[in-house]
Structure 1
């Protein structure tokens, strides 16, 4: 997976070294020698990951990171801080200002590539979700960005997997003041444990006795609701090659023993916040996409969705020589319902009408609300006789039983239906709808509460 990487360092030698390493792996590399220059590049170009030196004049890396994460344009861009500082407090500060990870100088090639690959995957996922949100409605992204500012990283639910109970209890004690933590000393039960709970993070020891920690991670991820569960490995220095392999396989992060309490807390907060943000973003995207294509009152698809889907289904019908029919339904004298009983009663009638239509069409048929009291049903693989039979069944279901409305007498409601089907390979969506509309007009003109099929 290729990506565009921005290297930010005021020392040219460091820039050239990192540039050579990344270019050799086919990454596209941009460079900046100061914080302001880096911010300008990120605001004007698409960057997938930032490798950011901490010690720079005028504006240090912490401030650059803070500004990147504060901008709506760049807050989702992963930042990998590269520093000669080796104090835990410095690493914690980097994570707290929003850095996604860090490397200590001199930079180890294996760790560099593992970290970059992991963060590029994160950026790819974020970009996909953002694009889907934009396809639905821009408001989804705005809601998600606002949610990111309010997401808390406290009160997390997490699982520690470690065959060494003493070490596991120590990690648990570090985390328990702020989180709910379970300790599992039998890795064979990991799938069962995860299946029975909704964890937001798993911490897996690389020193599992008698078990492959990477296989345990894989088994955890195979649980349906844990496919996106963040995983942090707890490793020893000798575990470096396997840690790199784990990051390639999708493990989110690692922390080395001896575990420093503040660094652990910062890494846990980062992963939980990121996990909750991803859930928030997915939910926002799904809700917004649903709103974009469904009618809020009836729950049926809306006109926008119907018109697009009709063109798709018509194209398939022409290509495969199959039947396709459409019926347009209009509630008779609906204005009198609103005028005589109020709009609340009218809304109740529309909801019940939609429910009866859905119950009486077939599973392959698509019901939509076109607007007001007008509805439409798209019927694939349906000839004239079948279309008329379905339409008549719907008509009867509306007329045979009065509609209950709150605070009033049941209302008698009827519907007029016009239907049409493909007649020639030259038929367009507009022609199909026009013929059904003409048939509906005839049904109204001839007395309502009836079905008329209009052929070409």
Structure 2
């Protein structure tokens, strides 16, 4: 998915330069010439990342950033300050205002694009959690937005991985003023330590003796228990290329030696605040309301959740001018399965069907049990052609292998029919999209079942 970048600068030449660099990498670029305009665009959720100049006439970048980060509606948007100011005091002032990074002009294309891509991945993940949390709020759960804005980022648990004693002693002393610090000088033990410690932040030196610090970062990203823990990498200036590689594999932020005390604390607080916020979102979505939004038999979302969340997805698609695909799936002759093999066998089929659905769709897609043997899959930013390929792949997955029932003692053939359509018209009612998909499903069943039928808007 292409991120939408908001470039804020009162100098047209600077705007054009950044716009050209980002457009060449297939990002969607928006521009604003002052802070007031930038705040308005951000409040309408029209951007994914903000590249913000500091020196502007009406409102400087520090104040713009502070307002963005103290507004519950915009605090989650990553902000990168891009400015000619290069003193530690200026950089720290930006980080204290809540900026996710502070890049000094002239910024190399490689550094700029690597940072934007890294923050894009983070924003996409947070957006998915936020969207589901909005649905949770609608059915009575409390959103964590205001507590996130008030969070100071202090009092975190940090694991510092560094095998140079002079280095880790200084860093630990600095960090201990605000956090609980554990030091792991043995990099071969660091991953086990990180998995067991329930940390809010990992700080990893990339200049370890006889060990690749980037490999440790990559392993932390692949391990379930450390996958969502932010990583702050530290390296010597000559290793800046490795830092850029680190951003590609999941490092959240970095510092170059010599380490400025204030900047280290500011960057640690930023990462810990973000970790707590996303943890709160996950808790709201995945734990607190699981029973209210999940179909107990299949583990998929239920119809109640689908109807609320689909409205949110459709509104977002209309606002951004992006396609939204929707398919309704029906298990063919399901009544005969219950009649011939019993309702226990029917339940076995429904459970296995849900497993195969999950394997055939993306993490951002929404799969729900609509009722009985009918299911709905919603695919954001997906046109009719791509959705048709996914639907056909899913149809083959169901028909290609018999379903085990009665604890594996019997295997039965199962097929599905699929009706597919897309939301193409801005502001179109969700009910109309569902009705169009249902009409396509009726045609699929009428034409012989075990097939996909598409119907354009």
TM-score normalised by the chain length of structure 1: 0.66
| SS of corresponding position for 1:134 | helix
2:110 is aligned to 110
Query: 2: CA distance between counterparts of 1:67 and 1:188?
Result: 43
Structure 2: distance between partners of 1:46 and 1:217: 32
Compare 7-16 and 132-141 and name the one that shifted more: 132-141
> What whole-Å deviation, never above 9, does each CA across 1:14-50 have from its counterpart, x for those lacking one?
1111111111111111111111121222234510111
- Structure 2 length as normaliser, TM-score? 0.66
What does 1:293-332 align with in structure 2 at a 5 Å threshold? 293=293, 305=302, 315-316=330-331, 318=333, 321-323=336-338
Alignment partner of 2:2: what SS? Answer: coil
Counterpart in 1 of 2:164?
A: 164
The reply to whether residue 147 of structure 1 matches residue 132 of structure 2 is: no
Please give the secondary structure, in 2, of the residue aligned with 1:143: coil
Task: Show structure 2 runs of 5+ residues with no match.
Answer: 307-326, 351-371, 374-402, 407-444, 447-457
Q: Which residue of 1 aligns with 2:50?
A: 50
For 2:219, the equivalent position in structure 1 comes to: 219
Residue 90 of structure 2 is aligned to residue 90 of structure 1 = yes
Task: Give, in angstroms, the shift of residue 134 of structure 1.
Answer: 3.0
Q: Is the 8 A contact 1:314 1:324 kept in 2?
A: no
Provide structure 1 residue ranges, at least 5 long, that are not aligned to the other structure: 328-359, 367-377, 384-424, 427-456
Between 240-249 and 68-77, report the one with greater CA deviation: 68-77
**Secondary structure at the residue paired with 2:251?**
coil
State the Cα distance separating 1:66 from its structure 2 match: 1.6
Check 1:215–1:382 CA distance in 2 against 1; reply closer, same or farther (3 A cut).
closer
Q: Is the 8 A contact 2:297 2:347 kept in 1?
A: no
Structure 2 residue matching 1:102: 3-state secondary structure: strand
Aligned 1:94-243 pairs, distance under 5 A: 94-138=94-138, 143-243=143-243
CA root-mean-square deviation:
3.7
- Residues of 2 paired with 1:307 and 1:57: CA distance? 49
SS at match of 1:315: strand
Instruction: Give 1:69's aligned residue.
Output: 69
* 2:271 corresponds to 1:271: yes
The structure with the larger Rg is 1
Say which SS state the counterpart of residue 5 (structure 1) adopts. Answer: strand
Q: Corresponding residue for 2:367? A: none
Confirm or deny: 8 A CA contact 1:114 1:248 kept in the other structure.
yes
Q: Decide whether the 8 Å contact of 1:5 with 1:30 is kept in 2.
A: yes
Cα pair 2:217 2:250 within 8 Å, conserved: no
In the alignment, what sits opposite 2:7?
Answer: 7
Q: Distance in 1 between matches of 2:305 and 2:10?
A: 53
Conservation of the 8 A alpha-carbon contact between 1:140 and 1:284: no
Partner of 1:27: 27
**2: distance between equivalents of 1:319 and 1:246?**
50
Q: Which moved more, 1:236-245 or 1:187-196?
A: 187-196
Cα–Cα, structure 1 residues 196 and 43, in superposed 2: closer, same or farther, change >3 Å?
closer
Asked if 1 retains the 8 angstrom alpha-carbon contact of 2:71 and 2:149, the reply is no
1:306 to partner: Cα distance: 8.3
Match of 1:253 in 2: 253
Q: 1:181-235 deviations in whole A, cap 9, x for unaligned?
A: 1111111111221233111111111111111111011223333211111111111
Partners of 1:140 and 1:288 within 8 A in 2: no
Alpha-carbon offset, residue 150 of structure 1 = 3.8
